[in-house]
Structure 1
Amino acid sequence: MTPSPATAAVRVRRAELSDLDDLVALEQATFDHDLVSRAQFRRHLDSDSARVLVASANHRRFLGTALVFFRKGSRVARLYSIASLPEARGKGVGTALIEAAEAAARQRRCQSLRLEVRIDNESAIRLYERLGYRRIGPVEKGFYEDGSDAFRYAKTLA
């Protein structure tokens, strides 16, 4: 996969056990609810049904992460979570992580990648729509642990 110009400096790799502390710290700093626990991250690192991705750039080892789930027998992958450090936002980290998640889904022969996003997360919605994701289905009322609603998005993978 050739990176887009906006993501050329950002490198994405599969997370390793040595990333566990950074994964947990970013999760706790980014989200107030619906957090992935240390034990869950640890389990996902070795799971065939999940891919934990880490973004880095300019000698920074850890700028963001994405968690993608795969279900056996399904051609639909799910982008469960994506987060980046505050100083990395708006610098192509999210785009690079999403492109890597799409590549991982294609490797698994998935035909689409789906995700949920809080209806008030305007920057994430703009990013997803710019990358070709389209809203599907009705608003998911009370989707998140705190009762917030979510939009569902999907992108067909070529």
Structure 2
Amino acid sequence: MQERGLRIRKMALADITAVQGIERNSFPDPWARETLEEAITTFSDTVFIAELEGTICGYIICGVEDTGEERYGHICSLAVSPDMRNRGIGKTLVRRAEQAAMIQKATAMQLEVRVSNTSAIQFYTKLGYEPVFQICGYYADTEDAIVMMRWFRF
């Protein structure tokens, strides 16, 4: 189900303050403004905002990485305002980022998620992502990450 009136658009520098607010309410280690600015500049075709009635309610930061053998999309950050969750906004953002990655010839999408974030793991599993391995001490507080992937079928 997608929220009526939901609009997905490319993220702009003017959106950073709203994104930072969502980050602070979603993560124990939100990105710095400079990191967000760099992401918007570097991944301009794969960073998106979700707006509902003119208010930013979610975002996704994704890039496409070329390993020399494969091209993978990489979800770097995804968050929806706590009061707007469970309305299909996160799913809509992920699907839009996947589409953008496929346009850039990515064959899969990957992401890292905290091992303790069971709701995010369940969310991504429902979207077809599979755990592939674990990275010890990945986060600043030394919590491990699970790397999850979804392979695109062409």
Q: Same fold (TM over 0.5)?
A: yes
Q: SS where residue 7 of structure 1 aligns? A: coil
Q: 1:29 and 1:20, CA in 2 relative to 1: closer, same or farther beyond 3 A?
A: same
Q: Matches of residues 49-88 of structure 1 in structure 2 within 5 Å?
A: 51-57=46-52, 59-72=53-66, 74-88=70-84
Any idea what SS the aligned residue of 2:46 has? strand
Alignment: residue pair count: 150
Identity of aligned pairs, percent?
A: 27
CA distance in 2: counterparts of 1:37 and 1:50, whole angstroms: 21
Q: Structure 2 stretches of 5 or more lacking a match? A: none
CA shift at 1:66, angstroms?
A: 0.8
CA distance in 2, matches of 1:97, 1:68: 10
Which residue matches 1:31?
27
Corresponding residue for residue 134 of structure 1: 130
Partner Cα distance (2:80, 2:95) in 1: 15
TM-score where L is the length of structure 2: 0.88
Q: Compute the displacement of 1:53 (Å).
A: 1.1
CA drift of 1:157 comes to: 1.5
How many angstroms apart in 1 are the aligned matches of 2:117 and 2:45?
A: 24
Does the CA contact (< 8 Å) of 1:134 and 1:153 recur in 2?
yes
State whether structure 2 residue 133 is matched by structure 1 residue 148: no
Unmatched segments (≥5 aa) in structure 1:
1-5
- Measure, in 2, the Cα distance between the counterparts of 1:21 and 1:110: 30
Please say which of residues 15-24 and 82-91 is displaced more in the overlay: 15-24
**C-alpha displacement at 1:52, in angstroms?**
2.0
Deviation at 1:122, TM superposition (A): 1.3
Q: How do residues 103-142 of structure 1 correspond to structure 2 at under 5 angstroms?
A: 103-137=99-133, 139-142=134-137
